[in-house]
Amino acid sequence: MSRRLIVEADGGSRGNPGPAAYGAVVKDAATGAVLVERAEAIGIATNNVAEYRGVIAGLEEAHRVDPDSRIEVRLDSKLVVEQMTGRWKIKHADMRELALRARSTHDMSAVTFTWVPRSKNVHADRLLNEVLDTEAPEPERRPLLRPAMGEPTTFYLLRHGETALTVQRRFSGRGGVDVGLTDDGRAQVAQAANALSARLGASSLAAIVTSPLLRTQQSAQIVAERVGADVTLDDGLAEMAFGEWDGLTFGEARRRDPALFDAWLADPAMPAPGGESLVDVAARVTAVQQRLRSQFQASTVLLVSHAMPVKVLVAAALQAPIESVHRVDVTPASLAELAFWPDGRPSLRALGLR
């Protein structure tokens, strides 16, 4: 599915015509997170010109965030909404030129325009008024463009593709049989690599970091060939060690050790016999992520791992109880996207992408 973005835009002048400015905000539709703010003084202009300039700026920034996104533009200008949707004619030549500029910024089949009352457009309105209050109105003023709260550090989490044991839903952890991908598994990862490439757009990965197990190394290499990033290994991303249950199905392990298995499900500190606990896995996986957050600040990193580590990282981002991982299913070659803002706040942007 295409990423959904919201653009909130506003423009105004003090005098109509008079000193004018616009404000535009790009938000993630799924989380409400503010991705980009942009505002600029545009000299002497009318309210309508300023409104259109806000639309253009918002669409430009949304396109930079994701050129394949679906965008909802929210405006408190009924005129601009009706003109951009084609319901009202644009009679003024200057307005027609601005409308054409707006339509050239993004695929218009992926853009909708929605009228909102001014009370629902306060963010963009605040930005333009801040500019009018502090900036001289000369047209040559450079735009004020700032990511909200700084740029996040983004992690894509990729579970490896299908293996023979995956098909049979058998435990397959570190210390067990190190199986490789099936042909279907390779095809699944190739599909995920294409989806990742489309989502990255003009951006690039700073690194691909993978579990050292064969299936994840193979998956990482498929992605690297598609997006052109270097691959490094990190044992901290390996799958949970299931010990004596390795190679068994969920049901077989429960029949073998019914009391122990139920205790393992209920207590994240309980290790599998001869293996690891969820607490053990969480400690090493989050340590890897924290180190990479420091190393690759404001960059994008792909982690290629396994079902348990991916679920642990998602649960941690949501501040969900660690035992909730047993209620989450992460399919082979699926992607999750996590963002960590400079203040440490995590944001789950996507889960289960293919």
pLDDT of 139 > 50? The answer is no
Which CATH number do you get for residue 132?
3.30.420.10
Same domain flag for 114 and 20: yes
The whole-number pLDDT of residue 142 equals 47
According to the model, what pLDDT value does residue 145 have?
53
Residue 322 identity: I
Of the residues 160, 162, 276, 337, which is catalytic? 160
pLDDT at residue 200, rounded to an integer: 85
Q: Which of 162, 239, 276, 337 is catalytic?
A: 239
CB-facing half-sphere around the CA of 100: CA atoms within 13 A:
6
What is the predicted pLDDT for the residue at 353? 80
Domain check: are 127 and 259 in the same one?
no
160 is catalytic: yes
pLDDT of amino acid 130: 86
Is 225 a catalytic site residue? Answer: no
Q: Are 57 and 37 in contact (CB under 8 A)?
A: no
What was the pLDDT predicted at 177? 92
Range in 61-70, 87-96, 253-262, 312-321 the model is least confident about = 87-96
**Of the residues 96, 112, 146, which one is the last residue of a structural domain?**
146
Domain that holds residue 325: 153-353
107 with 20, same domain: the answer is: yes
Going by C-alpha positions, the residue among 182, 158, 75, 113 that lies closest to residue 334 is 158
- Residue holding tokens 């002497």? 44
Q: What is the pLDDT of residues 212-238, one digit of tens each?
A: 999 999 999 999 999 988 999 999 999
Are 173 and 51 found together in one domain?
A: no
Backbone torsions φ then ψ of 320, nearest 5 degrees: -90, 155
Distance CA 311, CA 326 (A): 9
- Which range, of 164-178, 199-213, 217-231, averages the lowest pLDDT? 199-213
For residue range 82-107, list pLDDT tens digits in order: 999 999 988 887 788 899 999 999 99
Same domain for 20 and 53, yes or no, is: yes
Phi-psi region for residue 267, left (φ > 0), alpha (ψ -120 to 50) or beta?
beta
Handedness of CA 40, 41, 45, 47 (dihedral sign): positive
